[in-house]
Amino acid sequence: MGSKSIKSLLVAVFSLIIIFFSYVSYAQDKGAEVTPPQEKFDPGKEIMTHIQDAYQFHFFTLGNFHASIHLPVILYSPQKGFSVFSSSRFGEEGEEAYNGYKLENGSIVSVEPGVDVYDFSLTKNVVQMLIALTILVFLMVGIAKKYKKGQGITTAPTGWQNAIEPIITFVRDDVAKANLGKRYKKYMPYLLTIFFFILINSIFGLLPGSANVTGNIAFTAVMGVISFFVILFSSNKHYWGHIVNPPVPWGIKPILIPVEILGVFTKPFALIVRLFANMVAGHIIILSFISLIFIFGGMNKIAGWSFSPISILFTVFIYLIEILISFIQAFIFTNLTAIFIGQAFEGSDHDVDHHADPVIV
Amino acid sequence: MELLLPKLGLIVWTLIAFAIVFFILKKFAWKPILKSLDERAKNISDSIQTAEKVRAEMALLKSENEALLMKAREERAVMLKEAKDTKDRIINEAKDQAKLETNKIIADAQVAINQQKMAAITDLKNQVGNLVIEVSEKVLRRELSNKQDQENYIKQLADNAKLN
């Protein structure tokens, strides 16, 4: 999209807004008495249910018809052992109790007090993640097979090879080699895996009706904790020396040592929160623009209809940005992990000349 | 708040999924792909090196060819010069030879001429002798008959001899 078409898009959007607001002020006078009180639309609640995990894929509800796929619930409780059943047992609205368990605020609790419940259900996020990863594995193994056959070595690469190869070489040259120096080969499988792991889940999370996997704190926490351990296992004496005994005057040491120790944990924590916040924010913005239609629709039917084109335009715009952000966040996560690993083992051998500042928000 | 609390189930499943995906991809995808990319990079750099080498060789060959050509040209010039020299020498030799031959022929001719001249002179001398003898004979015969006539006759003979 050229800058010219963006400009004309903005002009169209703003002129529509101006027209619309003049219309709303007129419509509000009459609208109050005409529209009957309907079921109140709560955008906050609606958005939260969309970006959170669920026990079923819910697409739409039409009257009494619920278009949703129920997923298996797997529970373990020390008192009752394992129990596996479909989430449809809880009813369409999750109002029913089954087998001594019930849904409360989106999570499963026991009906009887004092019974602990460990929830290992194949939720929306889990199922979607598994589907996305299966596709990723098949895609990558297929590409690897092509390479094994010699396609892309002596001849030009074809098909998916052309799409994946630049990303792989980018991760190798600009992420791994730039930050890890000579030791980059050891970390390549890990860096490539986290990059594509995050990327494919972000991309799948953009599909309408899908789960927001990379925008779930549990997912990003796992990724961050793995990074944390990889960083720790790469560290050397020099790294710990800097943390326990930083090269600063004596007076500053009591201040700096706690800061340095905290820094060990804040680095992966920042990774966790950055990915989570970026993905959640993107989804919230998209859902907000969609919700605007219904908020205006709640005020006045005509207002809702006339606002929908603007809302759709903005949604499309944000969607395109979200695709970009999926790539950028996967890159940032991978790149920062590589930088932290590089910092953890630098000093021992001076092949790493790249001192990237890890201050990226 | 619900949003910020990680749930155990998803953590466990993500961890399992990541571990499995990591090991599968590491073994079956990243290793062959990275190996192939390295191999290709090596192939390309090797090809470029080979091309450079071939080009250098070609340049060397070309310069060698040029040197050969130069040498050939020089040789040709030398040969031409030699041929010309030889030709000149042969011509000169031929000329000298011819001169010598001519001189010899001339000398021979002169010798022959001299010989013949000598022969002619001898012949003439003999004839003169004979004539003298004949005349003397006749004179002697006449002297006996007439003194006057004898003198006239001698005079006449002398005139005849002068004419000869």
Across chain A, mean pLDDT equals: 82
Residue B87 CA to residue A117 CA, distance in Å, equals: 122
Chain B residues with CB within 8 Å of chain A CB: 2-15, 17-18, 21-22, 24-26, 28-37, 39-40, 43
List residues bridging with A102 in a β-sheet: A109
pLDDT for residue A25 is more than 80: no
Q: What is the mean pLDDT of residues B25-39?
A: 90
| Token duo for residue A99 | 């087998």
Is B33 domain-assigned? no
Residue A184 CA to residue A198 CA, distance in Å, equals: 20
Band (B143; pLDDT cuts 50, 70, 90): low
**Cβ contacts (< 8 Å) between B32 and chain A: which residues?**
144-145, 147-148
**A162-191 pLDDT per residue, tens:** 889 899 999 999 999 998 888 888 999 999
> Do the Cβ atoms of A121 and A72 come closer than 8 Å?
yes
**Cβ contacts (< 8 Å) between A152 and chain B: which residues?**
36, 40
Is B23 domain-assigned? no
Residue A29 CA to residue A37 CA, distance in Å, equals: 16
**A227 class by beta-carbon count within 10 Å (0-12 exposed, 13-18 middle, 19+ buried):** buried
Interface probe, candidates B8, B12, B14, chain A, greatest A C-beta count within 10 A: B14
Band (B1; pLDDT cuts 50, 70, 90): low
A-B contacts (CB, under 8 Å): 128
Query: In this complex, which of A119, A172, A190 lies closest to B7 when CB atoms are compared?
Result: A119
**Cβ contacts (< 8 Å) between B12 and chain A: which residues?**
120
Complex-level ipTM beyond the 0.85 threshold: no
**A282-319 pLDDT per residue, tens:** 999 999 998 988 888 888 888 888 889 999 999 999 99
Is B7 domain-assigned? no
Q: Do B33 and A121 touch (CB under 8 A)?
A: no
**Cβ contacts (< 8 Å) between A196 and chain B: which residues?**
25
Q: Phi-psi region for residue A99, left (φ > 0), alpha (ψ -120 to 50) or beta? A: left
* Spatial CB neighbours of A353, under 8 Å, sequence gap ≥ 6: A181
At A351 the pLDDT is 46
Is B3 domain-assigned? no
Q: Do A48 and B2 touch (CB under 8 A)?
A: yes
Is B26 domain-assigned? no
Is B16 domain-assigned? no
At A1 the pLDDT is 42
At A31 the pLDDT is 39
Query: In this complex, which of A121, A190, A193 lies closest to B9 when CB atoms are compared?
Result: A121
| Token duo for residue A249 | 């005057």
**Cβ contacts (< 8 Å) between A145 and chain B: which residues?**
32
Give kind and range of the element (H or E) at residue A107: strand A107-110
CA distances from A73 to A32, A76, A103, A115 (A): 46, 10, 11, 17
At A262 the pLDDT is 92
Q: What is the mean pLDDT of residues B47-74?
A: 95
Query: In this complex, which of A129, A145, A165 lies closest to B14 when CB atoms are compared?
Result: A129
Residue A285 CA to residue A106 CA, distance in Å, equals: 22
Band (A153; pLDDT cuts 50, 70, 90): confident
Place of tokens 């998916």: A160
**Minimal-distance CA residue of chain B relative to A51:** B3
Band (A5; pLDDT cuts 50, 70, 90): low
Q: How far is the alpha carbon of B1 from chain A, nearest alpha carbon, in Å?
A: 10
Residue A283 CA to residue A145 CA, distance in Å, equals: 36
| Token duo for residue A248 | 């600063």
Q: Do A189 and B31 touch (CB under 8 A)?
A: yes
For residue B66, the enclosing domain spans: 41-160
Q: Do A219 and B33 touch (CB under 8 A)?
A: no
Q: How many domains does chain B have?
A: 1
* pTM reported for the whole predicted model: 0.71
Is B34 domain-assigned? no
Listed ranges A203-217, A317-331, B142-156; the one with the highest mean pLDDT: A317-331
Q: Do B22 and A190 touch (CB under 8 A)?
A: yes
**Cβ contacts (< 8 Å) between B43 and chain A: which residues?**
153-154
- Listed residue (A209, A215, A200, A213) closest to A290, CA to CA: A209
Total number of residues shown for chain B:
164
